[in-house]
Structure 1
Amino acid sequence: MYTPCWSSMVTTTGPWPGRSETDVIATSDDNAHGSKYDRSILYPTETKFSDKLSTASLFHGGGSVTASVVESQILCVFVQPRVLRITFCEFWMALIELFCGIGGAAEAARQLARADLVSARAIDIDRDCGVVYQHNFGLAVDHQTIESIDWGSLVEIGDDAWWMSPPCQPYCRRGRGDHENDRRCDALLSLIAWLDNQPTTLPRAMVLENVPQFASSSHRDRLCCSLERNGFRTSEVVLCPTQFGIPNRRRRYYLIASRTHEATVAAPHDTSLRFSVADVLDSPPPTQSPLWLAIEVASKYAGALDIVDADDPLAMTACFASGYGKSIIRSGSYLRHDGRLRRFSPDEVARLLGYSAEFSFPLEIADRKRWKMLGNGLSIPVAKAVLDAV
């Protein structure tokens, strides 16, 4: 892959502590093929940048993402909490999240730390998810139904990668299994209809994540046919975090479609655990904490609960579903500690899903909502592998 050359100079309206009036972001380098992607500099928010050569100016206000062509290259300006990051690169890709939730794909992109991959737009009808997303990534979520989207307008952002995680209930074992007549599939059908009209402008890549049962659905067949008719090369894989050394079972289907190459993902050969369940645990909660399962409830459902022991180095947790904390059975694992059972806290579940310490929930989001959001989310190590292949 060609590594971008950077060449430009910017000034700040400062002065900011520790910054001169003029800062060189990167200088032209004819031999930049061996250089690293990330040559960015971090500035405080509310900083105005102007390029001396082109006099183009950009201003951040309110968490929006801005991109401008400067000297035949792309100036990407995007927000992280409390800082602006500006990057000059010749090629870049805008990540657009549909059904973004709390930002699993954005978290995967942040951990990848590729300067050519920019979280540019996030769409979800759930306003609480939008609060969490903006809290962590500084990008305001568009609150609208996916089926109401003007698909063509999404392509105008740039060289795009679309990540979508449509509702899984129409396809999963615990759902009605009648995806043909389920209104929750309207968004996906809207995308298929748009593709069937063979639009002239298309994103570079698309990724769809869902439960493994999606692979045998008629919607999968229709989507793949529509993508291939529009010049996409598709690959499909079912992956589980356990294949990546994560002590959590969460098998998911991934459809990866690219117009530039065949994007394949394989699990690492070494599947030994990167960490144990004990490594993600907080200190034991107080005796009266609602995390503890009542003794009578634990006795009633004893044979149906998935129980792991904190001192078992090979313990493997079950998939945490959106009903964890509300449904007693078939929603996730319980931890045995000193003869009692307790739920995993939302922070512990987030760690098992691979979220970094940088990720957090706003205080106003209750635990039950946090569990639901995480249960509807992604395994970050798997999402990273998929996203890096796009």
Structure 2
Amino acid sequence: MSHRILELYSGIGGMHCAWNGSGLNGQIILAVDINNVANDVYKCNFPNTLLSNRNIQSLTPEYIKELNVNTILMSPPCQPFSRNGKYLDETDTRTSSFLYLITLLQHLEKIEYILMENVKGFECSTVRNLYINKLKECNYNYQEFLLCPSSFGMPNSRLRYYCIARRKTSEWHFKRKEEVITSLPNDYRDCMALEDIIEKNVPEKYLVSDKLLKRANIMDICYKDSTRSCCFTKAYTHYVEGTGSVYTDASPQEVEDCLRLANTFDYKSNEFVEKIKQLKLRFFTPNEVLSLMMFPKNYKFPENITTKQCYRLLGNSVNVKVITELLKILFE
């Protein structure tokens, strides 16, 4: 069977990459996103896919039926359910489009399969309850997950909520659990090291600025043999705490010795900064972050997209590998 897919909140096409990587038979019939910059990146990588720059709330049941799609892949705005979004839940205006989609479901009888991704915290929200209740009302089997790429052999943390749903009219051998599943049975016993994705001869523009080096004591520093890194957010390179890891070619012992000597000075002093500069701490490049998020090797950002825009888009994107594995379960 060849599936016809509607990709909503398509962003830079992480869901599209996951579909391509799944080996499943089907086609993205339409991608929809309102972000012009994200759409430029999407078009660069998927020039043959119909892409619509529009608000989700402009999609009518009649229009979706005309597309003759049977699958929806989507990653609605996560800010209403995150710390930075102040957990405003259904009162946040950014939930409006997803709440609209929930009301549409009862009119979309041809939609057999749905995969939805969101931030951790969504599972505790009112909007989640509305969504799950609607899935039940519309006769879907569903399963919720909280999964991290590190469980799939990737040296990166990006814990996210996922929900896959399938109409009860189609046979599904997946054994559903009431609780949120936090791991999948797999063969990923070992995590790859960062040296497998680190680029050579990275330009100096990626070095951490003197201003941010004053915060070196709270940075998450990674090494070539590290099998972990922190989740990258859209504020990466602008703030230090909680936005992602930094990298050094130095050894852990060299970093420890350097920090010990640097901390004999006030962290705001030039002496502290000059000492830390010896480590040549740098940010991960956009291409390295793409690799950590398991985008395919031929994926690229167009030349007109700035480095800052790359990080913002990546911070809002998805881990391709995790979604690929969930698609296999959804369509097994």
What range is the shorter-chain TM-score in?
Answer: 0.7 to 0.9
Query: How far apart are the structure 2 equivalents of 1:366 and 1:159?
Result: 35
Partners in 2 of 1:361 and 1:160 — Cα distance? 30
Supply the AA of the counterpart residue of 2:236.
Y
Matched, 1:301 2:218: no
TM-score by length of structure 1 reads: 0.71
Give the corresponding residue for 1:180.
90
- Cα distance between partner residues in 2 of 1:200 and 1:301: 51
Q: How does 1:244-323 map to 2 (within 5 A)?
A: 244-259=152-167, 260-262=170-172, 267-286=184-203, 289-298=204-213, 300-310=214-224, 312=225, 314-323=226-235
Residues 307-328 of structure 1: CA deviation (Å, up to 9, x unaligned) = 1112x2x430100111112223
Which has a greater percent of helix? Answer: 2
Do the aligned partners of residues 112 and 269 (structure 1) sit closer, same or farther apart at CA in structure 2, a change above 3 Å counting? closer
Instruction: Return the structure number with greater relative CO, CA threshold 8 A, min gap 6.
Output: 2
Residue aligning to 2:56: 146
Q: TM-score by structure 2 length?
A: 0.83
The CA distance in 1 between the partners of 2:237 and 2:56, in whole Å, is 28
> How big is the shift at 1:296?
4.7
2:192–2:227 contact (8 Å) kept in structure 1:
no
Per-residue deviation, residues 58-113 of structure 1 (Å, max 9, x unmatched): xxxxxxxxxxxxxxxxxxxxxxxxxxxxxxxxx21112111000000110111223
**Separation in structure 1 between the aligned mates of residue 158 and residue 12 of structure 2, nearest angstrom:** 17
**In the alignment, what sits opposite 2:304?**
364
Residue equivalent to 1:235:
143
SS state at 2:53 partner: coil
CA distance in 1, matches of 2:61, 2:200: 47
Paired-residue identity, %: 29
- Equivalent residue, structure 2, for 1:80: none
1:140 & 1:256 partners in 2: Cα distance? 24
Aligned to 2:283: 343
Structure 2 residue 67 is the aligned partner of structure 1 residue 157:
yes
Per-residue deviation, 1:146 = 1.2
Larger Rg: 1
1:129 corresponds to = 38
More strand by share: 1
SS at match of 1:254: strand
CA displacement at 1:173 relative to structure 2: 2.0
The counterpart of 2:242, out of the listed 327, 330, 342, is: 330
The secondary structure found in structure 2 opposite 1:163 is strand
- 1:218 aligned to 2:126? yes
Q: Does 1:107 align with 2:30?
A: no
CA RMSD after TM alignment:
1.8
1:341 to partner: Cα distance:
0.6
Aligned residues: 292
CA distance in 2 between counterparts of 1:337 and 1:204 reads: 49
Deviation at 1:274, TM superposition (A): 4.9
Q: Shift of residue 228 of structure 1? A: 1.0
Corresponding residue for 2:262?
A: none
Distance 1:379 1:191 in 2: 23
Output one character per residue of 1:169-206: Cα deviation in whole Å (capped at 9) or x when no partner: 110122211112110000111012223xx326331111
